[in-house]
Amino acid sequence: MEQYPIPQFIEQEGKIAFFISFRQFFYLVGAGVICFILYFILPFFLFIILAFVIFGGAALLAFVTVNGVPVINTIFSSFGFLTGTKDYTWKKKESPYPFKTIKRAQIKKIDEGPVLKAQTSQLKKTKTAVELRTK
């Protein structure tokens, strides 16, 4: 029997229409319902200001992601970090007592041998004279 690869790590949301998923749709519909209620409660000028803020926030929550994570998850994680307890503990690693000494290998000094003939050759003298522009 032939085996087919099984897809893994599928993180795609169901789409309602074109590019809008259920989550995005409900954010935008919720903002629309809130603005509809505010239209009848508030004066028109204040309603316009709040409608821009509410729809801007809903669009931010619906369409913006940070490192592939929806903004709402980032906001909840931030609040959880700010309100949660922070316990910074430092544990000292135990060291053996008394301290063990480490013996290192002795470094041997290399004796300089006799000077090679290549270092005092006529070719080297000529090269030096050409570089210094002397005869």
Predicted TM-score (pTM) of this structure: 0.54
Which residues 6+ apart lie within 8 Å of 42 measured at CB?
A: 50
User: Which position has the token pair 């690693």?
Assistant: 93
Q: Per-residue pLDDT tens for 68-111?
A: 888 999 999 999 999 988 888 877 776 666 666 777 888 777 77
Residue 122 CA from chain centroid, whole number? 62
Which residues 6+ apart lie within 8 Å of 20 measured at CB?
A: 28
CA pair distance 74, 72, nearest whole angstrom: 5
More confident residue, 12 or 70: 70
Residue 64 near residue 23, CB atoms below 8 Å: no
Question: What DSSP designation does 16 have?
Answer: E
Q: Per-residue pLDDT tens for 107-135?
A: 777 776 666 555 567 777 888 888 887 76
Mean pLDDT of 32-57: 95
Cis-peptide, bond into residue 98, ω within 30° of zero: yes
Torsions phi, psi for 65 (to 5 deg): -125, 150
Residue 22 near residue 16, CB atoms below 8 Å: yes
Question: What DSSP designation does 119 have?
Answer: G
Domain boundaries, the chain: 27-80
